[in-house]
Chains A and B, each alone.
Chain A
Amino acid sequence: MNAMLTVESFLCEEFAPDMAAAGLPADLNLIESGVLDSLGLLKLVAFLENQFNIIVLPEELDVDHFNSMTRINEFVENKRNSMGDQIQ
């Protein structure tokens, strides 16, 4: 399952209520465009942990992992894959 749509709808709902129907470009820099700041990042991480049942380690709390939807999606996919490996 692609995390992108879920993340997009979360970001739109939280930060861009008018964008619900339109699309955020996957590579939009969420930090530079003012969508996310460091406190917003903490909210996003809390959402990702809940939504995808992953645990974001403190040392992974790096803005580089979350500065666009593409990066967020990659991060979540990697996380889910590696957690899947652990279960197997």
Chain B
Amino acid sequence: MNTAQYLASFVTESVIPEATAVKCQGDTISYQQLAGRALQVASELQFIVTSGEEPVAAVIMEKGIGAVEAIIGSLAAGIAYAPIAPENPLQRILSILKGLTPDVIITDAHSLDKLEGVAAELGIPVLNNDSIQEQAGSNKPLPVLKASPNSLAAVLHTSGSTGKPKSVYIGAAQIVTFAEWVCEEFDLNNTDVLLNHAPLAFDLTFLDLFATFKAGAKLVLTRNQEAANSQALQTLCKNESPTFWHSTPTSLRLLVHGAEQLTFPAMKHVLFAGEPMSVKLLNAAGKIFVNAEHINIYGCSETNDTFYYRCPIPFIGTTIPIGKPLPYTQWKILNEQKAPCREGELWVHCPTMMRHYGDKVLTDNAFTRFDGKQYFRTRDKVRIDEDGLMHFLGRTDWTAKINGYRIDLQDVEQSILESPEVSEAIAFVQDIDGVPQLEAAVSCDPEFNSLKLRQCLMAKLPTYGIPRRFHLTQYPLEKNSNGKLCRKTIAGTYSLHNSKPIALAEH
């Protein structure tokens, strides 16, 4: 068994096969049933993927039990999975597939039509999970793969500055180490119910899937529709009595919105990650989850979680620390001369770190060796206080995190500039009543408008990468004294014109 297969064994060799593994809307599946379905997928994959070192399956499926079958099935066959949201524009899916060159695309009836052309163009075989028949006894036996210290388990994609997504290669051992930490730290066990929120293409779902399955707990998987709906989330919390919540602060805000009168006493752990948490929201969550501990988690796709902080409730203070390192995290704060300091850029070394990016140059720039160990440059500015608590101060580059999605502002600008009518573009994040919003200032032909721009961007960027608001002008954008476009100045200009508060009830 290689390490990818070991991850799948959390399901395929579950000690409580009759327990519910996943519930998604009306559907439930037990560990035994999920194992059966996953092994069918694995069996089919072996007919398709016959060669290649470290094979990869692109999983382009609607969020649901079927997608979990495909993920566990790939791993059981010793094949890494690359989850890609089917909602992405086709052009972006194509660009990801070209870089990834997967051995197979696993999809469902819902996305099959959309993908067939692309797959044929690239010569990638397609497996439709919905058409895999139950054929008792005819499964091809699983390959006995050589135990490797670390086989590839997953490839994730995040926004990159050139307009092309960055691929992050993650080994199975990294996910195993992380899942073990979660189970131990939060005493996750088979009585727990974890309410998932993040899309499957997100690193947050490593916890949702693998820590949950390792513990033999029940995963309540939200559909995209439910995840965006305050009421649906409240209903799920009421009906499913989850003990474990894991999401971005933005998603937690959706649940808290309008839930002031409710309490969810079953909840034991509320984990939030992916962007800074606001004190107001934390305290509002504290009133609803009356028996839960609230944990601020810090990490990124490349390293997984590296710092965490149990928040006292009510929290008094202006910003919430990212806290202390996980037991296995080693870290350094370095200044521009790479000398240690108390406030500077955070570098981390941990066993949960990615192996590499798809692009070698990017990889070389991301890591540096100190004392014989690879450290990952987070590009986050941090400060350590007198109590040894770490505080997040901001980014050192032009990426923004909105609702856990990492958005490279240069990626957005590059995509805007591809319209011939546009001469200059600056993307920035505006704070709207405590909620970050992606906006862009664009200098373009007077006949051009934000609608035409949106229509161009819809073909190139995922929804979260399209600015909510455009500021169009036919005049050149403001430059600083060097004649360069200054993001800060421009963001400042528009925040003044834009200070009208938006009435969004938040008590």
Contacts and interface: CB of A to CB of B under 8 A. Distances in A.
Given A31-B463, A58-B258, A18 B468 contact: no
B318 interface: no
B225 A34 contact: no
B450 A19 contact: yes
B455 interface: yes
9 contacts: A15-B468, A16-B470, A32-B458, A37-B463, A38-B228, A39-B254, A43-B502, A43-B504, A61-B231
A83 interface: no
A33 B464 CA distance: 9
A29 B464 CA distance: 14
B502 A42 contact: no
A42 B259 CA distance: 14
A38 B502 contact: no
B225 A62 contact: yes
A87 interface: no
A40 B230 contact: no
Nearest to A58: B231
A40 B466 CA distance: 14
B257 A41 contact: no
Interface in A32-54: 32-35, 37-43, 46
Q: List the 9 shortest-distance A-B pairs measured between CB atoms, nearest first.
A: A34-B466, A58-B231, A38-B228, A18-B472, A33-B454, A16-B450, A18-B450, A33-B458, A61-B231
A55 B403 CA distance: 28
A11 to B, nearest CB: 11
Contacts of A59: 231
B229 A62 contact: yes
A7 interface: no
Nearest to A29: B458
Interface string B221-242: 0000100111110100000000
A80 to B, nearest CB: 22
B467 interface: yes
B469 interface: yes
Contacts of B454: 28, 33-35
Interface of A: 14-19, 22, 24-25, 28-29, 31-35, 37-43, 46, 58-59, 61-64
A61 B229 CA distance: 6
Nearest to A34: B466
A14 B257 contact: no
Given A19-B451, A34-B458, 20 more contacts: A14-B469, A18-B472, A19-B449, A24-B451, A32-B87, A33-B455, A33-B458, A34-B454, A34-B465, A35-B454, A37-B463, A37-B464, A37-B468, A38-B228, A38-B254, A42-B230, A61-B232, A62-B229, A63-B225, A64-B225
A61 to B, nearest CB: 5
Q: Which of A16, A28, A31, A62 counts the most chain B CB atoms within 10 A?
A: A16
Contact of A15 (B254, B469, B505): B469
Interface in B206-262: 225, 228-232, 234, 250, 253-254, 257-258
Contacts of A17: 469, 471
A59 B225 CA distance: 12
A16 B451 contact: yes
Contacts of B505: 46
Contacts of A39: 250, 253-254, 435, 504
B155 to A, nearest CB: 25
B257 A42 contact: yes
A64 B435 CA distance: 24
Nearest to B457: A34
A34 B467 contact: yes
A43 B257 CA distance: 12
A63 B228 contact: yes
A67 to B, nearest CB: 11
Q: Which of B254, B450, B458 counts the most chain A CB atoms within 10 A?
A: B450
Contacts of B120: none
B176 to A, nearest CB: 33
B361 interface: no
Q: Which of A19, A31, A34, A42 counts the most chain B CB atoms within 10 A?
A: A34
Contacts of A24: 451
A87 B214 CA distance: 56
B504 A42 contact: yes
Contacts of A46: 503-505
Nearest to B455: A33
A39 B253 CA distance: 9
Contact of B503 (A15, A16, A43): A43
Contacts of A34: 454, 457-458, 461, 463-468
Q: Which of A18, A24, A29, A41 counts the most chain B CB atoms within 10 A?
A: A18
B248 to A, nearest CB: 12
Contacts of A25: 451
A16 B469 contact: yes
B469 A41 contact: no
Contacts of A15: 468-469
Nearest to B250: A39
Interface string B410-432: 00000000000000000000000
